Structure 1
């Protein structure tokens, strides 16, 4: 079965956002180009790592002599996007992701693949193609300014969750927290 590729070469919008209250949020990577919108669910940790690695790539590119790719050191004000997610229809839940740099288009490239469901008892047996959906991939290409803005917003969204207990490091729920460490 052929792979379904949701490709966005120059998206109008690419953001990470959430639905739900802290502690019960679902994270989404949402991309829009014109009327085409794709939303994929991902974990909070995937979101945080994605932002971190995008900044690392951009920071490495800045160090090249003369900054030939015009990578901004901070988020360009005109690219800040603090709007809510648009209508969310989950395309798939993200499993593996890859991140790269395309020097031919001067863009950061994100690829996201769905979680694959393989029964643990049949780990060596291939699934019958008639019983599975076509594989999918989301491929997003972002210019450097958009990538910097994406990483900033993603860090803010991840950081907007539940506060962390200063003693044990676990999240504090809205209804309270019982710390497992004794007070000092």
Structure 2
């Protein structure tokens, strides 16, 4: 059996301009400044605000708060010192900390996008295989004998297919580090490291009738 070994972290690491995801806004009143954090994303974020202030009171150090998706909260209220010129500078960082419900929604969105790319609607059986893998060749032969229509994707020579396969496996089992070829995607369900390919394909053919 040929295996694929990988350690892959499913991380949302899209590089964007800072104000596209999270923004710090300032509201000036007669007595001071109120600074608000605006979370424009669809997931909860932990935001840490650092300030450099002159003649403004109320800041004691970095402020960290959790901001819900599509929401804003006041981070701090600063007070003017009477008759003194004031100034401030902001620096902030933010980290996605999705709730359990948001994590489920994210996974479903990722699956939807991957299924759309693979056109699973018109290809209910997709087989990811490794080049030179005898088990993959056996699975292909068995599927052809059963007269089952399937899409056969080489993850050895196509890095994009390989990444899609890894994403789908990790969505099912985030802790997995080893899988065995071939990997089946059948009606939206991923199966891998199949011990008895003959039995698996026999059951597959029965279910597809």
Tell me, yes or no, whether TM beats 0.5. no
Higher helix share: 2
TM-score range, shorter-chain basis? under 0.3
Q: TM-score, normalised by structure 2?
A: 0.20
Which structure ranks higher in relative contact order (CA pairs < 8 Å, sequence separation ≥ 6)? Answer: 1
Higher strand share: 2
Q: TM-score, normalised by structure 1?
A: 0.22
